[in-house]
Amino acid sequence: MKRVAIIGGGGWGTALSIALSGRGHRIRLWVYETELVTAINEERRNPLYLSGFSIPEPVVATNSLGSCLEAAEIVLTALPANCCRRIYREMLPFLRPEAILVSATKGIESASLQRMSEVMEAVISPCFRPRMAVISGPTFAREVARGDPTAIVVAGPDSTLNRFVQTEFSGPSLRFYTNTDIIGVELGGAVKNVIAIAAGVCAGMGLGCNAVAAVVTRGLVEMTRLVVACGGRRETMAGLAGMGDLVLTCHGELSRNRRVGFQLGKGQGLAEITAGMRTVAEGIPATGATLKLAARYGLEMPITEQVNLLLHHRKNPRDAVKDLMGRRLTEE
């Protein structure tokens, strides 16, 4: 039994608190909204982000980072990518150097183009060397909270630390695999959201299964191209953090990014779509960041480019499809 602090009371953080409390861990869950502290601690529910699920008694919510992080042995962050740097800075005075830090965020910081582990390293390393790992894979929060069988990857440079997290987090409904390719695992988790928007566009336009299959397959090529250029391993993209997460996000009805794409395909604009969203669809900010990262290495990412034009330049979806289909013919 470990003392686990989960930073982020959205759907994913709450689902992880439910799953990990079942492993016997004592969980403190940091939430931003004051009203959620009462709802979780007194009513045992999260009506804003994960309605319909009972939160076990071992989970204690707080909106004080100091209280949440006190004596924490494992610190698990489940935050929007572009909030991470600020929250890491606020966490820093309360972090113990011996604590294990695990990022569950799938995204790229827009300003720096850094992965979440790089952001964590940049913030914390002036004070002490962080012991860290990341988790990623095909995971819908509601299914994890329900106890459906789920396979996840824990990745980091320290194999011993990876195995420790694997042992502490794995249970009857969660199976963790270890991987030392933190670059591939993090980029796979971020860029698959961009491709899911494209898959949603196809669905929204009613283009059929052929088009979606082409987007998923060629999207995997773009993901792999970027991962390898950044120093990750090609084979990681054939696993849970690559193909596994991509298939789930492109086809699953619970995918926020697919839903954004579906609405784009129906002709809605980004402002109209996001106005009705409480939670972040990470593919939206990740699209621009992914293109900038690709440009750094001189890479072509045509699907990502068209998603960016759809999101931020109101390109007509049919014109985007026409431009993709009309590109210069090449080998696969």
For residues 84-105, one letter each, b for 16 or more C-beta atoms within 10 angstroms of the residue's C-beta and e for the rest, the string is bbebbeebeebbeeebbbbbbb
Chain position carrying tokens 């309360």: 94
Catalytic residue flag (residue 2): no
What is the mean pLDDT of the segment spanning 17-27?
A: 94
For residue 33, report the phi and psi dihedrals to the nearest 5 degrees. -80, 125
Q: pLDDT tens across 122-171, in order?
A: 999 999 999 999 999 999 999 999 999 999 999 999 999 999 999 999 99
What is the mean pLDDT of the segment spanning 286-292?
A: 98
- pTM of the predicted model, to two decimals? 0.96
Write down the H helix ranges in 61-104: 65-69, 84-91
Q: Are 55 and 27 within 8 A, CB to CB?
A: no
Task: Please provide the average confidence, as pLDDT, over all residues in the chain.
Answer: 97
Q: pLDDT tens across 29-83, in order?
A: 999 999 999 999 999 999 999 999 999 999 999 999 999 999 999 999 999 999 9
Q: What percent of the chain has pLDDT over 90?
A: 98
Q: Which two tokens stand for residue 202?
A: 């196809």
| Residue 193, burial from CB neighbour count under 10 angstroms (0-12, 13-18, 19+) | buried
Residue 280 — pLDDT band, cuts 50, 70, 90? confident
pLDDT at residue 1 is higher than 90:
no
Q: pLDDT tens across 293-307, in order?
A: 999 999 999 999 999
What is the mean pLDDT of the segment spanning 169-189?
A: 97
Q: pLDDT tens across 71-101, in order?
A: 999 999 999 999 999 999 999 999 999 999 9
Question: What pLDDT, on a 0 to 100 scale, did the predictor assign at position 246?
Answer: 98
Residue 276 — pLDDT band, cuts 50, 70, 90? confident
Domains in the chain with CATH codes: 3-180 (3.40.50.720), 183-325 (1.10.1040.10)
What is the mean pLDDT of the segment spanning 93-116?
A: 98
Q: pLDDT tens across 212-253, in order?
A: 999 999 999 999 999 999 999 999 999 999 999 999 999 999
Choosing from 2, 106, 192, 266, the catalytic residue is 192
Question: What pLDDT, on a 0 to 100 scale, did the predictor assign at position 80?
Answer: 96
Nearest in space to 286 (alpha carbons), one of 80, 8, 11, 77 = 80
